[in-house]
Amino acid sequence: MITHTPATRRRSRLRSKAARLRSGVIVIAFAIAAGATANAVPASPAERTERSPSRADVRPAASPVVMAGRAACPARPRFNSVIDADGRTSFFYRPQPGQTIVGARGRGTGRVRTLMTTARGRAALPRGEITTDRVVDASRLPWFARKAGPRRVVAAIVANADSRSYAGIRLAYSPKAGTYAKLILPAGTVRTTSAGCTTITGYPTIYAQNIRRGGGGTTTDPGDPATPTDPEPTVDVGPAFRLVLALPRDQQEPPGAVAAIRSEAGAVTAWFARQSANGALPRWVRTASGQIDVRVVRLPKTTAEYTAGDHHGVLADVRGVARPTRGVVADVVWIDAGSPAGQPCGVSVGGRTDADASRPMGSVLWEAACDVRPNADWGWPYGGTYLLAHEMTHLFGAARACAPHNDGSGHVTDSSKDIISATGRDWDDLRLDPGYDDYLFTGDECDIARSPMWTVTPTRPAG
């Protein structure tokens, strides 16, 4: 087990609320480097934990906040994909304050129609893309959309959009289950308007989970789509990760918690998809409609009892009250318990030793220990998204003793871009094993591409 302690308790207490909201994005290496090993919890080889860091290691919140006398520079735009009750799909996008998406209308309708006829032309336009659940009838598409494959639709963004409200595109098709919608903003389609910020003219692919809206009618804003009432199986089948919101017996379910957990899981899934050439995704327990499921379970002990205990007790009690499983199902548990003095931000069990490499047991994400809680309004790597991706990478099997840059704690030391780096964070370019020499595409027993927890075996990007 790996423990991440603050460099000092004094620094931890002095952190601002905004900083503490980001404290889940740290791993133990910072504390060890600062000499805080006196607070470390004894470790077993198959467990890893992350504690909150010193103030300097915390990334600021994603929403616009005042930093050093000025507003934070904008991050990538928000993007949602909603399946309406009538089977149509609506894309919603909204730039962050200080940004504008430049629509294609300024090029002229005739020019846009021409560009949409070729792959090269479409690549120059701001656009949304979807893989459909059936063969596309081109005659049903609006003038700004094209059939780009038997079951693929590309739609140009025509009008400009700013941060005041969501803009959208509506298509007469439902997405294929398990696929993700894409928002693509090539160079020249984004305008940065915040003074003093780096000029950004475009973004690589932004992914969104396709969420089914309950009820009837159409939509004009993504809001908080209702969770569908799907017929559920009696057993959760693996291999898969299972998201769990665990409620001690003295707690009630926080409003919006399930939607926030699902939203952040979607952002993390999209990040994982960008790590391979074929867009391999983590395999989740899902609802019948294809949503990432979030199991809400009521535990038998109080918040104080779980705070006085450890992750083993949480995982055991979750297994005791959650739906039975068949195959390898790794629980990823959010619980509003723990304390800065007693628990890490996150801990993962199983998946890293020879004996359990293909059988991860689960992770516990201690919300109260580091004041890290899921937030539906923030995207990658904000809110709880980094912590979730970090712990899932451990559950995939990283990093084992065979990794050349393993620091002995399950983290690696060769690059700050690595999601499980022990030596710092490049927040704008976090990746899985950027050198492909420790745990991804290594071709040996260290290679997490061999894990059964992927939807497909990841393939290495070119270059």
Cβ-defined contacts of 380-383 (< 8 Å, 24+): 380/267, 380/268, 380/270, 380/271, 381/25, 381/59, 381/271, 381/427, 381/430, 382/22, 382/59, 382/61, 382/62, 382/75, 383/21, 383/62, 383/260, 383/264
Torsion of CA 263, 29, 42, 434, to 10 degrees: 60
Cα gap 346→332, rounded to integer Å: 10
C-alpha–C-alpha distance, residues 447 and 329, integer Å:
20
d(CA 109, CA 113): 6
The band of 218, judged by pLDDT with boundaries at 50, 70 and 90, is: very low
| pLDDT tier at 213, thresholds 50, 70, 90 | low
pLDDT of 139 strictly over 70: yes
pLDDT at 285 over 90: yes
| Tens of pLDDT, residues 91-129 | 888 888 888 999 998 898 889 999 999 999 999 999 999
Query: By the 8 A CB rule, do 370 and 52 touch?
Result: yes
The overall average pLDDT reported for the chain is: 78
Question: Can you state the angle between helices 385-396 and 257-273, rounded to 10 degrees?
Answer: 60
Question: What letter would DSSP give residue 227?
Answer: P
Using a 10 angstrom Cβ sphere, with 0-12 exposed, 13-18 middle and 19 or more buried, the burial of residue 239 is middle
pLDDT for 72: 61
- Is residue 205 within 8 A of residue 76, CB to CB? The reply is no
The DSSP symbol for 284 reads B
> 201 or 65: whose pLDDT is higher?
201
The DSSP code for 111 is: H
Of residues 267 and 13, the one with the higher pLDDT is 267
Alpha-carbon distances, residue 178 vs 215, 292, 378, 448, 456 (angstroms): 22, 9, 22, 21, 12
In angstroms, the CA 304 to CA 7 distance is 25
Residue among 261, 306, 301 nearest 285 (CA): 261
| pLDDT tens digit sequence for 402-430 | 999 999 889 999 999 999 998 888 999 99
Determine contact, residues 67/60, Cβ cutoff 8 Å: yes
* Segment 34-76, tens digit of pLDDT: 222 222 222 333 444 554 332 223 333 333 323 333 346 777 7
Report the C-alpha gap between 218 and 212 in whole angstroms: 12
Where are the extended beta strands (E) located within 202-281?
Answer: 203-212, 236-237, 240-247
Cβ neighbours of residue 91 closer than 8 Å, sequence gap 6 or more: 79, 80, 81, 128, 130, 155, 168, 169, 170, 171, 181, 183, 208
Give the Cα separation of 23 and 3 in Å (integer).
14
pLDDT tens digits, 364-412: 999 999 999 998 888 899 889 999 999 999 999 999 999 999 998 899 9
Q: Among 1-10, 227-236, 445-454, name the most confident range.
A: 445-454
- Separation between Cα atoms, residue 110 and residue 355, nearest integer Å: 62
Beta-carbon count within 10 A of 100 CB: 16
- Whole-angstrom Cα distance, residue 136 to residue 153? 8
User: Could you tell me where the DSSP H helices lie in 59-174?
Assistant: 109-115, 119-122
Give the predicted TM-score (pTM) of the model.
0.57
Per-residue pLDDT tens for 326-354? 889 999 999 999 999 889 899 999 755 54
Terminal Cα distance for the chain, rounded = 35
pLDDT at 16 over 90: no
**Whether 406 contacts 432, CB under 8 Å:** no
Question: 244 pLDDT band (50/70/90 cuts)?
Answer: very high
| Chain Cα centroid distance, residue 196 | 29
pLDDT at residue 236 above 70?
Answer: yes
Least trusted range by pLDDT, from 23-27, 210-214, 447-451: 23-27
Query: Is the predicted pLDDT of residue 434 greater than 50, yes or no?
Result: yes
HSE, side-chain direction, 13 A CA sphere, residue 100:
11
> Does 1 score more than 70 pLDDT?
no
